Structure 1
Amino acid sequence: MGRSEKSRKMMFGISRRVLFNSASACLSGITVAFLFPNFNLEFLAWVSLVPLLYAVSNSNSFKESFLYGFLAGVISYIIILYWIVYTVQKFGGLPYYIAAFALLLLASYLALYFALFSGFGRILLNNYRILNIILIPSCWVFFEFLKSNLLTGFPWENLGVSQYLNLPFIQIVNITGTPGLSFVIVLVNYLVFHFIFYKNRISKKQALFELIFGLSVFIIVISYGYYNIYSVNRLLRNKKPVRVALIQGNIGMFQKWKITKKRTTGIYLNLTKKSLKYRPKLAIWPETALPYIISREPFYWDKVMNFSKKNKIDLIFGAIGLKLLNGRYHFYNRDYMFTQSGGFSYYDKHHLVPFGEYIPLKNQLPFLAHILKGAGIGNFTAGKRFRMLKSGNLKAGSMICYESLFNSLVRNFSKKGANFLVSITDDAWYGRTSAPYQDMSMTVFPAVENERFVARAGNSGISGIISPTGKILGETGIFKRTYLIGYIKLINRKTFFALYGNIFVYIIDAVFILSIAYLPVKNKK
């Protein structure tokens, strides 16, 4: 056989291998995307990463496996976040091709974490054997946690969140947080991958160990889940329910900032008035339901306050806050509580949306700040204190917009004594896409992590009540002007997660870092 013929066969072999690996990575990317709303094929989570793990194990270098992970991540996030195109085009007023480019840019950034998992996953597969049953899931959790916190963080639809309907499984988050779910899912994926592709390369002793370990972890998690559901239901049995009205104004995003204060305020007061026939103790309006500085509008302040006092109902609503600090006015995305006794409290949003509610690095890049300010970017200041919204025995921790995604932030409320949680949002930005359903699915987890009822009011929906076990007890449709009557119960018991936060993640991250740091020593031996 001639040298040129050998080269052609080798090139063809490499090309076929790379193409098959690339197809495997794409399959994982598609499968992961299909786990979330509106597909909700969450049962695929247990095998969704098997094709990617195969591609990684079949790669020849860190760079190659990195590229497979990047490919899987880009495909996955383009499918999950397709609604970015609608939002940027509709509300940013940008051409379709720029909106599509914005999606590609965001998907590419998020795909880097897939890629890093794949690159370091290959290192682990090539250097460890039995320990990979812990190290591969630890690798995923490390980079997922990094994605959720680095550069303000974007924990949108992390892998464990796909199981929001699997109530027994998700109970473990009141100890581990949602990264614990991702850990178990990746562990099962690794076991399936190892059984299929490595069954002839490992000893029976190792195979038996992996099987027993995997089954033990899964059984412990599910058993704890059923126990916790029983424990919570028992705790709630003798607690008095509090009737709540969730008010969904459904005022369009463009319309919201243009119509008069009188009309906006009237819409919410009238809907609340209709709900009074059910005698709710508390009514909740969405984020910036009153899109003006109500503290500077004594007429509307008194109007809303007098409604609360007259009808003996507490009101929680979103508005614009204002403070004068060091000679400058600061604006806040604020959540007020007006009580039937005439008092009030408020909470200012901590975790603002970059390029939506504020401009990052505006002092360092003043030219960029000037351009983006002209495009309608908000100029809000982040709140500093975890203020509770209080009225009598009601102590609400407030999550404004996507703050509900940040579990290390939300746990501060229950740790400081909140006995239920409120989520107010305005998902009209997303239109009739899957994003409102994705947002609702993620709001399940603060309820379970903190063992608190969550009462959620959205301008255009979805509004709903979520139990401390993560069960959605009632919800509205999207883009309907309506209200929902539901019940919550007040809980004071604190979960392990509320008290100690992401300790599980820190331990797992330490394990991963040490495993990588130890490699030079291991290889020297």
Structure 2
Amino acid sequence: MRYTESLADSPALHHRAGKGLFFNYRSFLWLALGTLLACFASNGIWDLSIAAWLYPTFFLRFTRTHKPLIALAGVWLANVVSIIFVLYESRFPGGPTVILFGAFLIFATIFTLPYLLDRLLTERIGSRSVLLMTLVFPLGRVACEYLLSFVPFGGVFSLGYTQHSNLPLLQLLSVTGVYGISFLITWFASVVAWIWEQRFFWDRIRPLTLLYTGVLVLILLGGGIRLAFFTPSAQTVRIAGVTVSKATSRHASKYIHGEHIDLAQARTAFTIISNELFALSQREARAGAKIVIWAEKDVLTLEDDKAHLIERAQSLAQQEHIYLEMGLAVVHKQATSLELLQNQAILINPEGKVVWTYNKAHPVPGLENIPPGDGTVPVSTTPYGRLANVLCFDADFPSLLQQAGHKGIDIMLVPALDWAGIDPWHTQHATFRAIENGYSLVRQTSQGLSETVDYQGHILAATDYYTTDQQTMVAAVPIQGTWTLYAQIGDLFSWLCCAGLFLLTRLAIFMRSQPQTLAK
């Protein structure tokens, strides 16, 4: 028997081509089931990792048994439903704006394109090779995810993030980045959809089934070996993350709520917050912490008062011989509100000198109306390894964080500020950058999950803002990172997927109409 037999000989093709196909209402059940599963695989707080592997299979079953227009419309509506579900569960501050909703509709449209490509190309490519046919959908999905990583929302919708708890699988990040996991998930869907079309006839499906299973087993085995035999063994440094308590935040907010903002009252509120942060930092330093990190925008300061705040931090760092990473927001008084001018992270060394002042490279669209920073990740060599820093949403952009991996960073500091609707998944996404680039990552988060992981993704410490009043995270963090292929080659895998999709499209357009076969 021939391995890549012509689809013309397959019962699936005759089923596709029949007139009764348009009226195949049973397939709409698969669309409905896929839509339900997609809602729990959209990178939200209720994600189920298994749902990400299953829902594309049902979508492909639907699209391959309908004419292209019906297939496209059905999957697009399903994607819109899952997007609306994500907006609902994310509970954006102030609610989803028209611009935000419009952007998400565009995402739903873009993620429909891989299904359209699969529907239009697979029959022709399948006459040449079943293996190549099954690659159309995963290549299309990776190409869409990669291109969307350059828009203001970054790569938050990558399917790979749904697998955050599968450490053996996540080791693939060190080679391909998050897109390699998305490829595996969607290739699985494409293979299973084809097996379904073959009515699970073993003689037909055996070669491709064994091929995919072998690839997946090798990846999981390799990840398991990396976890078992190449665990981080370097010396560690004690790092403490501190965040203003909810009680102090409530107390301070009384001074800046009302119809008008009074400068004196605003300064009182800011002082209450900064006093607690300095006291917590001193406490952790005296308990043995060598690096102390605050959350993003944990302290607010007026532009005129910023220098005095930094002087206090310099004095504390010098007195306690620590590296102090401050997350602060520089604000300007308006009539009824405080306008954000700068979102910064400032690192001060034990000599009391400012090592860097970093401005957020990717302000959150619709929530932070400030100029972005220059996108250069700061780096400093210390007795505790090479340190680097980004702020919160910056970690959703793999290409930005890859700068640090390429520079041989050992510890990445990430002050962050979330909200209940994206807790804990936003922190879980950020930890992917540690495995990709070979460094430990410390994310201190206000109003969300604070977490420290090593370069294999092991959780070293974690605490959640909503489960404790006083959120302090202390971890022993390896001071030496590791080499990863991804840090050196970047998104080469994604570019290869884009190139592969282009070549398969050309093959489908220009190949001869006669079915060809390949030897088993």
Q: TM-score, normalised by structure 1?
A: 0.82
Alignment partner of 1:71 is 2:102: no
Q: Which residue of 2 aligns with 1:128?
A: 125
CA distance in 1, matches of 2:293, 2:505: 49
Give the secondary-structure state (helix, strand or coil) at the position aligned to 2:431. helix
Q: Which residue of 1 aligns with 2:350?
A: 340
Contact 2:45 2:89 in 1 (8 A): no
Contact 1:170 1:225 in 2 (8 A): yes
Give the secondary-structure state (helix, strand or coil) at the position aligned to 1:287. coil
> Which residue type is aligned with residue 143 of structure 1?
C
Give the aligned length.
466
Q: Which residue of 1 aligns with 2:236?
A: 241
CA distance in 1, matches of 2:452, 2:208: 40
Q: Which residue of 2 aligns with 1:410?
A: 401
> Which residue type is aligned with residue 446 of structure 1?
R
Contact 1:25 1:71 in 2 (8 A): no
> Which residue type is aligned with residue 123 of structure 1?
L
Contact 1:314 1:391 in 2 (8 A): no
Alignment partner of 1:485 is 2:474: yes
CA distance in 2, matches of 1:436, 1:302: 34
1:25 counterpart (21, 25, 31):
31
Q: 1:256 to 1:440 in 2, by over 3 A?
A: farther
Q: 1:162 to 1:39 in 2, by over 3 A?
A: same
Q: 1:225 to 1:101 in 2, by over 3 A?
A: same
Please state how far the C-alpha of 1:397 moved relative to its aligned partner.
2.0
Q: Which residue of 1 aligns with 2:495?
A: 506
Q: 1:257 to 1:168 in 2, by over 3 A?
A: farther
Alignment partner of 1:306 is 2:307: no
CA distance in 2, matches of 1:447, 1:385: 18
Q: 1:277 to 1:20 in 2, by over 3 A?
A: farther
Give the secondary-structure state (helix, strand or coil) at the position aligned to 1:456. strand
Q: Which residue of 2 aligns with 1:96?
A: none
Please state how far the C-alpha of 1:257 moved relative to its aligned partner.
10
Q: 1:14 to 1:522 in 2, by over 3 A?
A: closer
Please state how far the C-alpha of 1:86 moved relative to its aligned partner.
4.4
CA distance in 1, matches of 2:409, 2:447: 26
5+ residue gaps, structure 2: 1-18, 257-265, 332-339, 515-520
CA distance in 2, matches of 1:156, 1:383: 21
Please state how far the C-alpha of 1:22 moved relative to its aligned partner.
4.2
| CA displacement, residues 260-297 of structure 1 (integer Å, 9 cap, x when unaligned) | 33122112112223334531111100112232367863
Alignment partner of 1:265 is 2:274: yes
Please state how far the C-alpha of 1:67 moved relative to its aligned partner.
1.4
1:286 counterpart (289, 295, 311):
295
Give the secondary-structure state (helix, strand or coil) at the position aligned to 2:230. helix
CA distance in 1, matches of 2:206, 2:87: 40
Q: Which residue of 1 aligns with 2:182?
A: 182
> Which residue type is aligned with residue 517 of structure 1?
R
Q: 1:208 to 1:517 in 2, by over 3 A?
A: same
| CA displacement, residues 345-377 of structure 1 (integer Å, 9 cap, x when unaligned) | 2222222323333xxxxxxxxxxxxxxxxxxxx
Q: Which residue of 1 aligns with 2:6?
A: none
CA distance in 2, matches of 1:111, 1:105: 10
Contact 1:85 1:102 in 2 (8 A): no
> Which residue type is aligned with residue 311 of structure 1?
E
Contact 2:360 2:373 in 1 (8 A): yes
CA distance in 1, matches of 2:386, 2:255: 31
Q: Which residue of 2 aligns with 1:162?
A: 162
Instruction: Tell me how large the CA RMSD over aligned residues is.
Output: 2.8
CA distance in 2, matches of 1:213, 1:69: 28
Matches within 5 A, 1:63-462: 63-89=69-95, 99=96, 104-129=101-126, 130=130, 131-149=132-150, 151-199=151-199, 204=203, 207-233=205-231, 236-237=232-233, 239-250=234-245, 255=253, 258=256, 259-260=266-267, 261-292=270-301, 297-320=306-329, 332-346=342-356, 347-357=358-368, 378-427=369-418, 430=419, 432-433=420-421, 435-462=422-449
Contact 1:250 1:461 in 2 (8 A): no
With a CA cutoff of 8 Å and minimum separation of 6, indicate the structure with the bigger relative contact order: 2
CA distance in 1, matches of 2:511, 2:93: 50
CA distance in 2, matches of 1:85, 1:67: 27
CA distance in 2, matches of 1:301, 1:71: 52
Q: Which residue of 1 aligns with 2:454?
A: 467
Please state how far the C-alpha of 1:338 moved relative to its aligned partner.
0.8
Q: What is the aligned-residue identity percentage? A: 18
Contact 2:57 2:192 in 1 (8 A): yes
Q: 1:334 to 1:342 in 2, by over 3 A?
A: same
Contact 2:435 2:455 in 1 (8 A): yes
Q: Which residue of 2 aligns with 1:373?
A: none
Give the secondary-structure state (helix, strand or coil) at the position aligned to 1:315. strand
CA distance in 1, matches of 2:289, 2:414: 18
Contact 1:315 1:337 in 2 (8 A): yes
Please state how far the C-alpha of 1:214 moved relative to its aligned partner.
0.3
Please state how far the C-alpha of 1:246 moved relative to its aligned partner.
0.8
CA distance in 1, matches of 2:481, 2:392: 24
> Which residue type is aligned with residue 268 of structure 1?
L
Contact 2:115 2:137 in 1 (8 A): no
Q: 1:401 to 1:250 in 2, by over 3 A?
A: farther
| CA displacement, residues 479-501 of structure 1 (integer Å, 9 cap, x when unaligned) | 43321111111224321111110
CA distance in 1, matches of 2:400, 2:172: 19
CA distance in 1, matches of 2:29, 2:245: 43
> Which residue type is aligned with residue 408 of structure 2?
G
Q: 1:103 to 1:152 in 2, by over 3 A?
A: closer
Q: 1:103 to 1:349 in 2, by over 3 A?
A: closer
Contact 1:245 1:284 in 2 (8 A): yes
> Which residue type is aligned with residue 349 of structure 1?
K
CA distance in 1, matches of 2:32, 2:93: 26
Please state how far the C-alpha of 1:240 moved relative to its aligned partner.
1.2
Please state how far the C-alpha of 1:79 moved relative to its aligned partner.
1.9
5+ residue gaps, structure 1: 1-11, 90-98, 323-329, 358-377
Q: For structure 1, which segment, 410-419 or 390-399, has the greater mean C-alpha deviation from structure 2 after superposition?
A: 390-399
